[in-house]
Amino acid sequence: MKTIISIFLLLGISISGQNYRFTYDFTFTRDSLQMDKTDSERMVLDITKKGSRFYSEDVAYSDSLMNAEFQKQIRGNNMNINISGIEQKGTVKLIVEKQYPKYETILINTLGGSIYEISDDRKMIWKIENETKKIGKFLAQKATTSMYGRKWIAWFSTELPFPDGPYKFHGLPGLIVKIESSNQSHVFELKGVKTLPKDYELKKQNSAFASSNNIAMDYKRYKKTFQNYLVNPVSSMRSMSSGGSVIKMTDENGKEMDLNKIMREEEEAQKKANAKINNIIELENLK
């Protein structure tokens, strides 16, 4: 207990009644055939009394800028919304929300223009090892599990008494400060800790494209949806068009563009990109 108290005093953290932001470096390999090529993104885990949210720092920032510009143009009665001038940063679009105390887990992801909210009630079975080591400032203990078609090695610290962690990972007697797949193609490592205001609340992602019509489903149905998306990446746009929805797109000069041509070009480009998707974090979704 003395160790825990001293660590939190050092960081200026008071456990009682506080909200926290933990930042992680996420290092990942997109192509299993090119393991030497890695990408990285700064991810954020916000923890409150009611639950947590895990998301990309850059994507959240870009979305907030786009939403502000979107709302500004609407207030100005602009009928041709244009937010192309805002640079989109970040590549990890997914968000994971956990609801305490049962740790009900929701993955929010966008495929082909549709936003999906995927509930996942699978239990994580951990094997806690005796091995310990320092991860950053914290003494951490080893644990292993098999989830999502991969084996994972985690390091959790009871000095941070939150049974949570990056992505969907949770259920250990302390915050997961590092977790990696057995082939090290996906690695999350804690890099920063700070307190948030006591009145901080988790809210839905503030995106210009957020909708109350997000598609809710369980992970089994989502797996089929994801596999269909890899083959038919613009199916949702085609469904909207064939269903009677009027979709118009204009170029920078206000000239209406050929939607069918746009969809054909988008489909071709996305199929090429999807063909290289072979090392996603939930590998079992490809099988």
Please report whether residue 254 resides in a domain: no
Please report whether residue 53 resides in a domain: yes
Closest by CA to 189, choosing from 59, 89, 11, 42, is 42
Please report whether residue 269 resides in a domain: no
Q: Which domain holds residue 142?
A: 2-218
Question: Which pair of tokens denotes residue 61?
Answer: 């920032």
- Alpha carbon distance 120, 42 (integer Å): 24
* Phi, psi for residue 177 in degrees, rounded to 5: -95, -15
Please report whether residue 35 resides in a domain: yes
Q: What is the reported pLDDT for 112?
A: 77
Closest by CA to 250, choosing from 48, 64, 80, 39, is 80
List the chain pLDDT tens, one digit each, 287 residues: 333 333 443 444 445 568 999 999 999 999 888 888 999 999 999 999 999 999 999 887 766 665 655 555 555 555 454 445 555 677 898 999 999 999 999 999 988 778 999 999 999 999 999 999 999 999 999 999 999 999 999 999 999 999 999 999 999 999 999 999 999 999 999 999 999 999 998 876 544 444 457 899 999 999 999 998 888 876 554 444 444 444 455 555 666 666 666 667 666 766 676 677 899 999 999 98
Please report whether residue 36 resides in a domain: yes
Question: Which pair of tokens denotes residue 197?
Answer: 């205001």
Q: What is the reported pLDDT for 13?
A: 44
Question: Which pair of tokens denotes residue 245?
Answer: 């929805």
Q: List the end-to-end C-alpha distance of the chain, in Å, as a whole number.
A: 46
What domain count does the chain have?
Answer: 1
Closest by CA to 217, choosing from 100, 102, 115, is 115
**CATH number assigned to the domain comprising residue 143:** 2.50.20
Is 179 in contact with 165 (CB distance < 8 Å)?
yes
- Alpha carbon distance 206, 258 (integer Å): 30
Q: What is the reported pLDDT for 203?
A: 74
- Alpha carbon distance 254, 251 (integer Å): 5
Q: What is the reported pLDDT for 60?
A: 78
Please report whether residue 235 resides in a domain: no
Q: pTM, whole model, 2 decimals?
A: 0.79
Q: What is the reported pLDDT for 89?
A: 72
Q: What is the reported pLDDT for 70?
A: 53
Please report whether residue 276 resides in a domain: no
Please report whether residue 18 resides in a domain: yes
